[in-house]
Structure 1
Amino acid sequence: MLDYFKKKRADKKQLVLKVREDQAKLRERKKEIAAMPEAERKAAIEQDRVMQQEQKQQRTIEMKAMSRKERKAAKKEAKRYKKIKNRPWRITGWSIIAAAVVLLFAQIGPTALNIFDALSGKHITAVTDSPEAIAARAHGEKVAEEIANEGIVLLKNEAKHLPLQDKKVNVFGIDALTLRYGGGGSGAGDTSRAVTLFDGFKNAGISYNPELYALYQEVGKEAGVNTGESVGFIQVVKGMLGSTSADEPNVDYLTADVIAQAKTYSENAVIVIASESVEASDATVEQLRLTDNKRALIDKVAKSFDNVTIVINAGNALELGFVEEYESIKSVLWIGTPGPYGANALGNIMAGNINPSGRITDTYVYDNTTAPASENFGDYDYSNLDYSFLNYQEGIYVGYRFYETYYAGNEAGYQETVLYPYGYGLSYTDFDWKVVNHKLSKDKVELQVEVKNVGDMAGKDVVQVYYSAPYIPGGIEKSAIEMATFAKTSLLEPGQSEMLTLTFDTREMASYDMETEEAYVLDPGTYTIKVARNVHDIVESFNLELTDKMVFEKDEDTGTAYKNQFELAEGELTYLSRNDWKGTYPSDDNISYEAPQYVLDAFSQEIKDSNLEMPVFGADNGLMLEDLKGLAFDDPKWDAFLDQFTLEEMFEYVANGAYHTMAVERLGVPKTLLMDGPAGFSYFFKPVTAASYPSEVVIASTWNKDLAYRMGEAVGKEARAYGIQGWYAPGMNIHRTAQGGRNFEYFSEDPVLSGKIAAAMINGAQDQGIITFMKHFALNDQETNARSGNLIWANEQAIREIYLKPFEITVKESKPLGAMSSFSIIGTKWAGANSVLLNDILRKEWGFDGFVSSDAVFGFMKAPDAVVAGNDLMLDIMSASTNEKRLKEAYEKDPSGIANGVRTSVHHVLYTILRTYLFES
């Protein structure tokens, strides 16, 4: 095997020499031409061009005359030659980035101080080496591995191939060398203590072929696989530029001798298929499919071995139809992005030390372009406005809501399209279910389900409950089936039973009527309650008859009347309807790239004087922040306290909100430290030692609210030990398509699962006295153009039922103290400057009483627009001084509006800080 690589290195050395010779000749020729008179120079250039063209044609003729094998080798050598030749440009690319940063510093003057502060991370004061911190981190790492244990999903297990009887495996593919523990960007945790795939196998008692492993070390090295972790600024740039996974190399190295040796070692083969996701970059459809080289690898191994296990290491839903094409692919395990201890979990599941109990949180289809949302996903720019746009024409038909509705009554079509339904997952044991009691009324649905382990191995099971509501053609759009609730059992030994009680309010089956009632409505008819193993596998159904139409006109918790709030975001679009699939199916063929006049007008509005009562500034009332502890938000004492701030202090406070809030010592206002990220504490520009967890898609795949609570609790304990008061998590946007760059960082395609898991995490963290920031509020479901300004067009029903629903569930069930507004421009209003979203919906309709931070600030996100609309802090890394200046300029035009805005923002933040562990008795 090693002789193969000696030859490759020798060949590469020869290629390098050839490139250098050719480049030297080219330099000499350029000098020769430069020395010629102008007329001769032009003729020489033309002569060289013609000669190059003739050489290219000659190479084409020669290639056609070659055998297939010779032609393949020639193409491969040409590709390697080009790669070596272009290498200096790749190095130069990083030099250009570095130069651009230096130039930026020089141009923006004082703002550079903000940038240097951000890059140095000097305000990141977390203490991670105390005994308390070390203990909290160790606890968090145990919880992280438990999540991986329950989040891994068994998708296929023919002939009960798993757990392995023969604990020896051959591991194929360079993806096995560098597991993707998480995604890139703010959702990337600390992986400095990560367990490799091979160590995970060894820890579980599985042996791997050492000769094949040695071969792959050489293959990976040759392919340029970097097993080290980048940190600091380079990590940020890499994430933001959209780093992609390395492709498999050509499988020529898998010679007959290599395969023979591996088969002698074991008939078990493991292939890891990975796809990398990052913040700020979406996936193409092609990236979610097998490359030619990966296909060749699978084909080679699957035809050579009897027992093949495919391990899917990806946060996005890949196209996995290939697993049905080979009889030898006996088992498939989805591990998602499982955190630094995911390899231990994988090894233990394959060895049979742990029984898999995860369920997928997305619909897996043979072709991801069959999702209607994929028709309007990508890069769309206005021709007459310096913004991009995105049309959510699919309406409510996202994920399983489309497939289960469109293919209702067409099972053959469904099976041809859907590989694994939403909620699908297998176990090593079998469970019998018995619905021992059901109570269905116009107020409440209650089911008692007895789950019994009738197999021969201990395991956990998940009971899912769905409903189907009556659909009136031409009426309110409704999916043929929707999730209502779910529950997971404890670990059941063989023969052991557990009674699960699942309940939900009947009104939760209501649909939003945006046309007539502007309220939630239960139409009369039959509501079928379905106890299911997944969205398509129904175990038992019960009918609830409603004879009268029920209209819910106001929020039952706050009493706020419902009404259409997002009519301006509907745009001039036709939305998908099950009443006319063909006539309403999304398409960008006839899309308009010209923004209408009302949109242009919205972006050219001038600031006007609000004519509000001017607040007091600079008073001396002898109050400190702790004097306000326990008082209601509207207690008069708050006014006396806030009167003591100067206007300049308030400007600075709201503009400098990146990863911290500022101290105002004279008023007893402490500094707070706010940290990313959903998979454990992290910071873009500086490594942070902290427990690292599986990505949120894996947390949701556990379908275990108790485990999600324990994760939040563990993060909260770390926060207390480190001196952190706020956590920028959880991410709660929807997997609108499989292509979303941050799907790993979000839970699911379903809002109920997303909301329930998020609420549990927040309850766990906030019970430790920290602020959690549910994010990104809202409609931040694509990365392309998000940071340059993306206008989202969607109708009221879809906004409420799909994209706001997880946030609403979370506010009602966990009362989060923080929220992070998104980059998205909903209709014509950036989310952080959208009073309808932040005040009318979040605060008034749902009852949120914490504070709102922006996401990282980009040019279109302006502090004056934010503070008058309910966004309290600017997460401004680079341009805080610019936003302070903007506030002062806006104050000149609208003194009362800006003054009251910043005062309200400071009020929101301080009212929240008083409820953290900093002010515990």
Structure 2
Amino acid sequence: MKKYKALKNHEMSLMEKEHMEIVRKMAAECMVLLENDGVLPLTVSGGNIALYGNGARRTVKGGTGSGDVNSRTVINIEHGLEKAGFNITTKSWLDNFDKIVASAKEAYLKELDKLSESTGISATMLSMFDYPFREPQVPLITKEDVDKSDTDTAIYVIGRISGEGKDRCCQEGDYLLYANEIENIKFISEKYKKCIVLLNTGGVIDTKALKSIRGINAIMYVGQAGNITGLAVADALLGITAPSGKLADTWALDYWDYPSSKSFSLNDDNDDDEYYTEGIYVGYRYFDTFNVTPSYCFGYGKSYTEFEIKTIDITADSDVISLTVKVTNTGNRYSGKEVVQVYYSAPKGDIEKPYQELAAFAKTKLLAPGESQVLVIEYKLTSMASYSEKKAAWIMEAGEYLIRVGNSSRNTRVEGVIVINRDLIISKHENLFRSDLPFEISSKGKQPYSYPTQEHEKKSAKRIIVDVTNINTEKIVYKREKPIYCNKSNDRKFTMDDVMAGNISLEDLVAQLTVEEMANLCVGSKRGEKEEQSIIGNASNIVPGAAGDTTSLLSSDRKIPNMIMADGPAGLRLNPHFITDADGNLLSGGEVFGEFRLESESNEEISDDAVHYYQYCTALPVASLLASSWDMDLIEKAGDLVGKEMLQFGVTLWLAPGMNIHRNPLCGRNFEYYSEDPLFTGMCASAITKGVQKHPGIGTTIKHFAANNQENNRFYSNSHVSERALREIYLKGFEIAVKTSQPMAVMSSYNLLNGVHTANSYELLTSLLRDEWGFKGLVMTDWFATHNTDFLTGKKERKYPASSSPLCIKAGNDLIMPGGQKDVDEIIRAVYKEEGEGTYKITLEELQYCALNILRIILQSSCYENAKPYIEQFGELPWVIRVNN
């Protein structure tokens, strides 16, 4: 009889209540105050509020697709304000909009059915990916609406939703504001004494129109804060929890200011090939170096109070640069938190450099008016190196390195000058990623951003000459050969129980596994053509709604248990309610995909002794909002929360965090990713991984590795990126996460990278990930990466094919998910092929290598009761930032 860890009680558990309270507090802290003339915080809890906008009642808790969370309830902003004691006086306007949306949705569903019939793709899949529902324009606000509202305070909520499988667009109702939204906000800014605009979005939208409207008193980026969004927004507006977020991205004055804008995704009518011609100049690196004025700069965010940041001292040696910084709340009314940001500007040399790069950061505790805190912020001297493709090495060129301290990328002072007297090669590598970029933009001859006092600050800053003669060059060793494990005993069949008992080694077990057994082990749980085309997110019948699991075909004779995987990264995505018969057999229904819910069997077919189970999970703030906290302790606490729910429901691997770079604001999945900055991204992913992996036997799966920066044609898009841009921008965050938190797993991405599918790239998955970075976990594909995806995307002519199952094994992509019999058969054939026969040949040792990686993680996982926290088995690895409060 199957055993389920789900709860049998429908009532809200103590843990669920506690987690909602934790998320409520952390979400409010993440919110970013963009503008405020003093109207916020609202000083009175109660009274009338005029509430408008598509996000007021239809508040977006997070994005769509596998990043969604099936939480018990969603508390919208209307409800949150009412809970705080306010009386919403514009319900008739909100009701009217609900009717407009209902009518639009009815028409949408009819069109969806027609499209499904013509394409052969299920309506559920179409709605989740290529053709999500797009809300219509809001109705115009009338004088009658204002007169009936009986208040001098209006709040307008702009909501936007995006998701997996489809990029956003620079059009009205998406990146741009609808015409009616602009007219409405202009109107209420004139009619109400207090006008507050809230941005309920997963990422950047155009703020040009908003900033042109006189009479807006405050703008707050509230993001998508999970299922308690409304409560957290009310707390932030009232100052119950002081919003202390800072932007994790540059918000441009105009979308076309982004260097990738003209060719991004379908902007140039080509989603087969994406040329990263901006090179390393992503986000603030571009805006600062090319002196393009943003609407809001990277790291920007106001507070309800004011702070003074004073650098007390800077010291440096060949190991660490250390800054002692005093932060004082100089306000006299409100408490708050401040973020100290440290940037460096490297000297011009043979290697082109951006104007500045983030080096380190730290967030204060909650400081009362007049209170101070001294922060000691440290980072590695060698982290200021640049990658030279010419020398295939990380190099610090001789010259002056300016150290800048402040609270946003465009509000810093030069506080120190670190002088390096000679070129220093930090580490020698091989160039692993040949690209065919036609060109990369250059900053030569460009005048970067500057400010009036910069030259004076350079002259007066503390100068430190660092002796680097004792720094040795690290030389990377690439292990091209893999060992082969020979069966030493035919007396009996080895099992995983023998390994657990210490009677044999894991290698002994692998040596005895047949090719067929290993092929099955390296392919996920799905088998059979019909099953291969079932909906994503309903793969496991042990944890219903989980995304998938490793095979159970070896459980009876080899005693190899299977690991359960659940989607993320805004929490676990599971079926909230499922039913079994008295014998534990799962009954159909209960699956949830966005707004589609497959109902359980009718009451007539469900016996009285059927068992009901519940898996209500907490929806976290989306990654883009969590990152805005700039608080690694807060993000680690979010991981701890998810870890507890994983143990509660029996999940081994969380398919999160997502950590691709925000190269362009229109990427449909940016809400799942953290930032435009690689250091910041890596630290966020490391923090949440540490939070999860402090629990025994469970872990994270960092994804999507790598250069997965668009959603249109994501299975077959080819990202053309230079070696330097990859290493400094798109791979650096993953490197930091691996070296500082050693996640249990890595998920390769769908896309090709310089002509090779990432799942088939030995250079990416073995040479870089394991040989250079020391990764110890397993690598899995994204779902259906090796399959024909017509059932997901429709039949189309494609420039590039899907990735290959045998080449996954050759590359060190250990586990193919969710897999199918086709994958198993192809792997077996590839091992037995004679040289020259067919296209692909893989060796026995390559298959053994992947099998060993999977078994090693299973052995350390929660499949066993004596599992230990995974991170402790590898220890903390030193990197980049240490902060002492």
Normalising by structure 1, we get a TM-score of 0.76
Does residue 145 (structure 1) correspond to residue 24 (structure 2)? The answer is yes
Bigger drift between 771-780 and 170-179 goes to 170-179
1:171 to 42, 47, 51: 51
Q: Which residue of 2 aligns with 1:872?
A: 814
Please state how far the C-alpha of 1:135 moved relative to its aligned partner: 4.0
Does residue 481 (structure 1) correspond to residue 366 (structure 2)? The answer is no
2:518 to 632, 650, 658: 650
Equivalent pair of 1:164/1:350 in contact (CA under 8 Å): no
Distance in 1 (CA, whole Å) between partners of 2:376 and 2:123 is 50
Gaps of 5+ in 1: 1-121, 408-413, 554-560, 583-609
Letter in 2 for 1:624: T
Instruction: Give the number of equivalent residue pairs.
Output: 737
1:459 to 322, 336, 341: 336
Alignment of 1:778-817 (within 5 A): 778-787=706-715, 789-817=716-744
2:130 to 241, 253, 273: 241
2:206 to 297, 319, 324: 319
Letter in 2 for 1:490: K
Alignment of 1:702-713 (within 5 A): 702-713=629-640
Q: Which residue of 2 aligns with 1:775?
A: 703
Distance in 2 (CA, whole Å) between partners of 1:885 and 1:618 is 27
Letter in 1 for 2:804: K
Distance in 2 (CA, whole Å) between partners of 1:382 and 1:892 is 43
Equivalent pair of 1:201/1:343 in contact (CA under 8 Å): yes
Q: Which residue of 2 aligns with 1:917?
A: 862
Please state how far the C-alpha of 1:479 moved relative to its aligned partner: 1.0
More helix, by proportion = 1
Equivalent pair of 2:692/2:700 in contact (CA under 8 Å): yes
Letter in 2 for 1:888: I
Equivalent pair of 2:682/2:733 in contact (CA under 8 Å): yes
Letter in 2 for 1:467: Y
Does residue 885 (structure 1) correspond to residue 825 (structure 2)? The answer is yes
Compared CA separation, residues 166 and 917, structure 1 to 2 (3 A): closer
Equivalent pair of 2:54/2:159 in contact (CA under 8 Å): no
Tell which structure's C-alpha radius of gyration is larger: 1
Q: Which residue of 1 aligns with 2:453?
A: none
Please state how far the C-alpha of 1:540 moved relative to its aligned partner: 5.0
Q: Which residue of 1 aligns with 2:65?
A: 185
Q: Deviations over 1:386-420 (max 9, x none)?
A: x921100000000110001101xxxxxx4xx3111
Please state how far the C-alpha of 1:128 moved relative to its aligned partner: 4.1
Percent sequence identity over matched residues? Answer: 29
Please state how far the C-alpha of 1:562 moved relative to its aligned partner: 1.5
Equivalent pair of 1:619/1:645 in contact (CA under 8 Å): no
Please state how far the C-alpha of 1:242 moved relative to its aligned partner: 4.0
Alignment of 1:45-124 (within 5 A): none
Q: Which residue of 1 aligns with 2:218?
A: 331
Q: Which residue of 2 aligns with 1:431?
A: 307
Distance in 2 (CA, whole Å) between partners of 1:235 and 1:164 is 45
Please state how far the C-alpha of 1:485 moved relative to its aligned partner: 1.2
Please state how far the C-alpha of 1:198 moved relative to its aligned partner: 1.3
Does residue 450 (structure 1) correspond to residue 326 (structure 2)? The answer is yes
Equivalent pair of 2:34/2:221 in contact (CA under 8 Å): yes
Compared CA separation, residues 290 and 620, structure 1 to 2 (3 A): farther
Please state how far the C-alpha of 1:636 moved relative to its aligned partner: 8.5
Letter in 2 for 1:551: I
Q: Deviations over 1:754-790 (max 9, x none)?
A: 1101101001111113021000010001111112x11
Q: Which residue of 2 aligns with 1:661?
A: 550
Compared CA separation, residues 623 and 514, structure 1 to 2 (3 A): same
Distance in 2 (CA, whole Å) between partners of 1:356 and 1:775 is 29
Equivalent pair of 2:30/2:629 in contact (CA under 8 Å): yes
Please state how far the C-alpha of 1:137 moved relative to its aligned partner: 3.4
Does residue 497 (structure 1) correspond to residue 372 (structure 2)? The answer is yes
Compared CA separation, residues 508 and 158, structure 1 to 2 (3 A): same
Q: Which residue of 1 aligns with 2:450?
A: none
Q: Deviations over 1:227-251 (max 9, x none)?
A: 99x9x97554312124253132341
Q: Deviations over 1:418-438 (max 9, x none)?
A: 111001111111122222222
Distance in 2 (CA, whole Å) between partners of 1:144 and 1:159 is 27
1:269 to 142, 154, 168: 154
Q: Deviations over 1:563-622 (max 9, x none)?
A: 2111x2x2041111101669xxxxxxxxxxxxxxxxxxxxxxxxxxx9996955994555
Q: Which residue of 2 aligns with 1:562?
A: 429
Equivalent pair of 2:499/2:506 in contact (CA under 8 Å): yes
2:251 to 344, 361, 364: 364
Q: Which residue of 2 aligns with 1:518?
A: 392
Equivalent pair of 1:147/1:707 in contact (CA under 8 Å): yes
Equivalent pair of 1:791/1:825 in contact (CA under 8 Å): yes
Q: Deviations over 1:90-141 (max 9, x none)?
A: xxxxxxxxxxxxxxxxxxxxxxxxxxxxxxxx99955244799944433332
Letter in 1 for 2:430: K
Equivalent pair of 1:624/1:641 in contact (CA under 8 Å): yes
1:399 to 283, 292, 311: 283
1:283 to 139, 158, 168: 168
Please state how far the C-alpha of 1:218 moved relative to its aligned partner: 2.4
Distance in 2 (CA, whole Å) between partners of 1:733 and 1:391 is 16
Please state how far the C-alpha of 1:378 moved relative to its aligned partner: 1.3
Letter in 1 for 2:155: V
Equivalent pair of 1:277/1:315 in contact (CA under 8 Å): yes
Does residue 298 (structure 1) correspond to residue 185 (structure 2)? The answer is yes
Letter in 1 for 2:665: A
Q: Which residue of 2 aligns with 1:541?
A: 415
Normalising by structure 2, we get a TM-score of 0.79
SS at match of 1:436: strand
Letter in 2 for 1:779: A
1:552 to 420, 426, 429: 426
Please state how far the C-alpha of 1:349 moved relative to its aligned partner: 1.3
Distance in 1 (CA, whole Å) between partners of 2:568 and 2:298 is 27
Q: Which residue of 2 aligns with 1:108?
A: none
Does residue 904 (structure 1) correspond to residue 849 (structure 2)? The answer is yes
Equivalent pair of 1:612/1:897 in contact (CA under 8 Å): no
Distance in 1 (CA, whole Å) between partners of 2:823 and 2:568 is 25
Compared CA separation, residues 732 and 150, structure 1 to 2 (3 A): same
Please state how far the C-alpha of 1:374 moved relative to its aligned partner: 1.3
Q: Which residue of 2 aligns with 1:738?
A: 665
Q: Which residue of 1 aligns with 2:690?
A: 763
SS at match of 2:282: coil
Compared CA separation, residues 805 and 242, structure 1 to 2 (3 A): farther
Q: Which residue of 2 aligns with 1:196?
A: 76
Equivalent pair of 1:156/1:331 in contact (CA under 8 Å): yes
SS at match of 1:707: helix
Distance in 1 (CA, whole Å) between partners of 2:482 and 2:674 is 44
Q: Deviations over 1:646-684 (max 9, x none)?
A: 322222221225611123232221122111110111159
Q: Which residue of 2 aligns with 1:441?
A: 317
Please state how far the C-alpha of 1:259 moved relative to its aligned partner: 2.1
SS at match of 1:303: helix
Distance in 2 (CA, whole Å) between partners of 1:133 and 1:618 is 54
Please state how far the C-alpha of 1:629 moved relative to its aligned partner: 5.2
Distance in 1 (CA, whole Å) between partners of 2:524 and 2:724 is 36
Does residue 672 (structure 1) correspond to residue 584 (structure 2)? The answer is no
Q: Which residue of 2 aligns with 1:34?
A: none
Q: Which residue of 2 aligns with 1:822?
A: 749
Please state how far the C-alpha of 1:514 moved relative to its aligned partner: 0.7
Letter in 2 for 1:571: D
SS at match of 1:919: coil
Does residue 419 (structure 1) correspond to residue 295 (structure 2)? The answer is yes
Compared CA separation, residues 854 and 130, structure 1 to 2 (3 A): farther
Q: Deviations over 1:696-735 (max 9, x none)?
A: 0011011110111111111111111111111100000010
Q: Which residue of 1 aligns with 2:572?
A: 681
Equivalent pair of 1:708/1:757 in contact (CA under 8 Å): yes
SS at match of 2:747: strand
